[in-house]
A and B are shown apart, each in its own frame.
Chain A
Amino acid sequence: MDEDFIVLEGLEKVFQVRRRAGRLRRERREVRAVDGISFTVRRGEMVGYIGPNGAGKSTTIKMLTGILTPSGGRLRVAGVDPSRERTRLARRIGVVFGQRTTLWWDLPLRDSYALMRRMYRIPEARFRENLERCVELLDLGGLLEVPVRQLSLGQRMRGDITAALLHDPDVLYLDEPTIGLDVVSKATVRRFLSGLNATEGTTVLLTTHDLTDIEQLCKRVMVIDEGRLMYDGELSGLHEVGESERTLVVDLERELPPIEGVDGARTVRTDGPRQWLAFPASASAAPIVSQIADGWPLVDLSVREPDIEDVIARMYGAS
């Protein structure tokens, strides 16, 4: 059970979309938002779920919370079929939709939390403890009496994360939790989430467009595109799958024609005495460096790791 805390087997969601095809005629079209996705998540894991807009991330999350019924496949969260037992499961999960809020817009933050306490039947002592911890770690002191509509986006997001955690959920779904936040707020949220996962053992599924979130929080990452799972594994493994390249930047004594004839590397750019050479991320830089040092007047060099965004963009492009 702990090994298969979240289980998806060939999960599908198909939407019927009607489109105007003529003055009166409507065309029915099938959109396969989630097209046969399978994976399992262990209890206590923190997983990144990434993909371009419209890839099916939010649809997956909505099925995991039970508010959308899958069209096909099998889905279990903590042994429960979410759409059949939505209300029962709701007590065990926490959800943060970055673009939406669960908080009471016109009322002080504290009122929303009091409502959560009743809604999830949280024991008084536990509630106070959890609230205090979130207020301290998410820097919400002094904001509890402020109406939500007066909070900044970053404050509201931290308020929403607190609201999702007061009832000690086993699973936390975060849909774009850092969207639109400034650098400081992002850092606070990330620090908090990694602490939560470490101390409480909360299972976290995180969708984001900000790859820094993933790099700092998740060992495991899943990439989906057009409703299919493209990659599931360690973040570092993405480089191999994405056929990514490292870059060797060399500074020569003077401006020379592009370096040629080096095994396993090719020159991709020159700018005065500086030249850029690309080589496979899996290859060693040492033989390339020695070849260049032998044949060219080398002054300085550095190696640049591949940019994860480029890797993923290439994966999207290839699909």
Chain B
Amino acid sequence: MRLRGVYFAVAAGSFRRYATYRIATAAGVFTNTVFGIILAYTFTALWSERPHLGGYDQSQALTFVWTGQAILAAAALIGGGFQEELQERIRTGDVAVDLYRPVDLQMWWLSADLGRAAFHLLGRGIAPVVVGSFLFELALPVSPLAWLAFLVSVTLGVVTGFALRYLFALSAFWLLDGAGLNMLSTLLSMFFSGMLLPLTVFPGAFGEVVRALPWAATMQVPADVLLGQYEGARLSEAYTFQAVWAVVLMAAGRALQSLATRKVVVQGG
């Protein structure tokens, strides 16, 4: 129980750390809002031409856009989480400091990332949605339970996203420079999370595949939960989909971590 206290403290510290930079937060909110407006008009054009594309009506499609903007920073869909920081620590050898502590490296960074995500959800998530709901007609739920269901899904999504990015981050132990892989990671996440276009619009086998990939758990699923696409028993299916990916990827991360710390050199004198 005490050890859980450490991870909670790490999360809380990480939350405070991101909260320190108010101007950065304001700039982020502005970016999310502008990005949201651009996407919203694009989606408006698309859905006027093809109503009920992907099973959404127009207001649902617009809600999808703004939900995406709310999650974007929290789930670090286009980077900006711990990934670059951990890679830099590996590259410079500062990771040595993280390794001699009596804590687990993966849990440490997960806690830090959850603290960051909590701040980003509050600090960068709410304002764009409020602006979006003034400018467009959105289909936001009124029931507190629906919002609670959404929060659970976002949390699972953040953990899945973390687990994915942890794998990319650890690659720095072998590659040292993670820039190329990070670009790939961001690109995959932007597209396969559903941020650019809901994954439900893709037909056939391609659609089936993209909806089964782990990135779908980071944004598509939480957004659908908020839109009420999963009802009753199907909600637990959605959660299970996210949780299975989270567990599998976390386990892969642990395996890679133990390989990395056993085989690989800690850089620098």
Interface residue ranges, A against B (CB under 8 Å): 15, 53-54, 57-58, 62, 65-69, 86-88, 90-91, 93, 95, 97, 99-102, 104, 106-107, 111, 114-115, 118-121, 147
Contacts and interface: CB of A to CB of B under 8 A. Distances in A.
Interface string B103-121: 1100000000000000000
A97 B266 CA distance: 13
B17 interface: yes
Contact of B20 (A53, A58, A91, A107): A107
13 contacts: A53-B269, A58-B269, A62-B96, A68-B265, A87-B103, A93-B100, A100-B96, A100-B97, A104-B17, A106-B21, A118-B2, A119-B103, A121-B2
B96 A54 contact: no
Which residue, of B3, B21, B94, B96, has the highest number of chain A Cβ atoms within 10 A?
B96
Given A107-B20, A111-B13, A115-B10, 7 more contacts: A62-B96, A68-B265, A95-B100, A97-B97, A99-B269, A100-B93, A107-B13
Contacts of B6: 115, 118-119
List the 10 closest pairs (A to B, CB-CB), nearest first. A90-B102, A67-B99, A106-B17, A65-B100, A118-B6, A58-B269, A118-B5, A119-B6, A87-B102, A118-B9
B96 A91 contact: no
Interface residues of B, number: 27
B16 interface: yes
B94 A100 contact: yes
Contact of A91 (B99, B102, B266, B269): B102
Nearest to B103: A119
B22 interface: no
B97 to A, nearest CB: 5
A261 B13 CA distance: 74
B261 A67 contact: yes
Contacts of B261: 67
A155 B47 CA distance: 60
Contacts of B21: 106
A37 B3 CA distance: 36
B9 A102 contact: no
A87 B107 CA distance: 14
Which residue, of A69, A106, A107, has the highest number of chain B Cβ atoms within 10 A?
A106
Nearest to A111: B13
Given A101-B97, A107-B16, A69 B102 contact: no
